[in-house]
Amino acid sequence: MPLPPHLTIEIVTPDRAIVHETVDEVRLPGAEGYLGVLPGHTPLLVTLQVGEIWFRRGSEKTWLHAAFGFAEILPDRIRILARTAERADEIDLERAEAAASRARERLATTTGDVDFERARIALLKSLSRLQVARRIGMRAAGRR
Q: Please tell me the predicted confidence (pLDDT) of residue 113.
A: 65
Establish if 75 belongs to a structural domain: yes
111 or 134, greater pLDDT:
134
What CA–CA distance (Å, rounded) separates 79 from 119? 29
Q: Are residues 69 and 114 in the same domain?
A: no
Q: Please tell me the predicted confidence (pLDDT) of residue 134.
A: 84
8 or 141, greater pLDDT:
8
Those residues with Cβ within 8 angstroms of residue 39's Cβ, 6 or more apart along the chain or in another chain: 3, 4, 5, 6, 7, 24, 75, 76
H/E run at residue 98: helix 93-108
Which band of pLDDT confidence, cut at 50, 70 and 90, is reported for residue 108?
Answer: confident
Please report, for the domain that includes residue 82, its CATH number: 2.60.15.10
Establish if 62 belongs to a structural domain: yes
Domain boundaries, position 114: 91-140
Q: Please tell me the predicted confidence (pLDDT) of residue 142.
A: 43
What CA–CA distance (Å, rounded) separates 20 from 23? 10
113 or 125, greater pLDDT:
125
Q: Over the chain, what is the mean pLDDT?
A: 88
Q: Please tell me the predicted confidence (pLDDT) of residue 114.
A: 64
pLDDT in tens, 38-84: 999 999 999 999 999 999 999 999 999 999 999 999 999 999 999 99
Amino acid at 78: I
Establish if 66 belongs to a structural domain: yes
Find residue 59's DSSP bridge partners.
none
DSSP labels, 6-31: -EEEEEE-SS-EEEEEEESEEEEEET
Which band of pLDDT confidence, cut at 50, 70 and 90, is reported for residue 10?
Answer: very high
**Does the pLDDT of residue 16 top 70, yes or no?**
yes
133 or 138, greater pLDDT:
133
Q: Are residues 81 and 111 in the same domain?
A: no
The b/e string for 59-72 (b: 16+ C-beta within 10 A; e otherwise) is eebbbbbbbbbebe
**What stretches of 1-144 adopt beta strand conformation (E)?**
7-12, 17-23, 25-30, 33-37, 44-48, 51-57, 60-74, 77-87
